[in-house]
A and B are shown apart, each in its own frame.
Chain A
Amino acid sequence: DAKTTQPTSMDCAEGRAANLPCNHSTISGNEYVYWYRQIHSQGPQYIIHGLKNNETNEMASLIITEDRKSSTLILPHATLRDTAVYYCIVILGQGAQKLVFGQGTRLTINP
């Protein structure tokens, strides 16, 4: 699976959009971009995933660049409960078994 690079930490004001970047320059054509987050002392939570097209669900939007070498997770109206570590992973679809998280981005939402 391709390696990802994320900033170690970010801050965002409550009510603003939080934009979390992820670089995955070695991604291959059949690898998906997945985002999970982990709130302190809880289990990881699936957020969203995509292959080529931008995706949106009730939690977030995922913007993938045309060359697929980077992506951005957008939380449109961040709340204090969005404070968590966010993990971007690139993973082969339809067969991968385990999830391997890197260091992730520690996002702090400030009141």
Chain B
Amino acid sequence: DVKVTQSSRYLVKRTGEKVFLECVQDMDHENMFWYRQDPGLGLRLIYFSYDVKMKEKGDIPEGYSVSREKKERFSLILESASTNQTSMYLCASSLWDVKETQYFGPGTRLLVL
């Protein structure tokens, strides 16, 4: 079974802090994705990566950056956390040629105070 793990299930941070969310997958998938999910807004893509050191902006990249130094690991960075970044953050991975079949991690519920 594909396993996608995220570093934390729950996180509380203060405004202005730098926040690191880590995601690791164990299936040698080329593609990795970061989404956020908010009530009424559904799932929104922040960034995705199709290879090591490669990244593409999604629909809402502002205020976020990403890092993919190893194939299995994709990090989401909030440079200076703000209260409007309080959300559920979901990481996913997929094979290169089957981008639509994405395997998700359990999610990180981030609260920015």
Q: Main SS of chain B's interface residues? A: strand
Any chain A CB within 8 A of the CB of B74?
no
Chain A interface residue count, Cβ-Cβ cutoff 8 angstroms? 20
B102–A94 contact, CB under 8 A?
Answer: no
Q: Main SS of chain A's interface residues? A: loop
Rounded to whole angstroms, the CA-CA distance of A93 and B92 in the bound complex is 17
Given contacts A34-B100, A49-B100, contact A97 B45 (CB under 8 A): yes
Closest 7 CB pairs of A and B: A43-B104, A98-B45, A43-B107, A44-B104, A91-B100, A43-B90, A101-B43
A99–B43 contact, CB under 8 A?
Answer: yes
Chain B, interface size: which category? 20 to 34
A98–B58 contact, CB under 8 A?
Answer: yes
- Interface members, chain B 64-86 (any A CB < 8 Å): none
In the complex, which of the residues A49, A95, A99 has the most CB atoms of chain B within 10 Å of its own CB atom? Answer: A99
Distance (whole angstroms) from the CB of B42 to the closest CB of chain A: 5
Rounded to whole angstroms, the CA-CA distance of A95 and B97 in the bound complex is 8
Binding site for B on A (CB under 8 A): 32, 34, 41-46, 49, 91, 93-102
B100–A102 contact, CB under 8 A?
Answer: no
Rounded to whole angstroms, the CA-CA distance of A98 and B4 in the bound complex is 17
A42–B103 contact, CB under 8 A?
Answer: no
The interface residues of chain A lying within 8 Å CB-to-CB of B103 are: 46
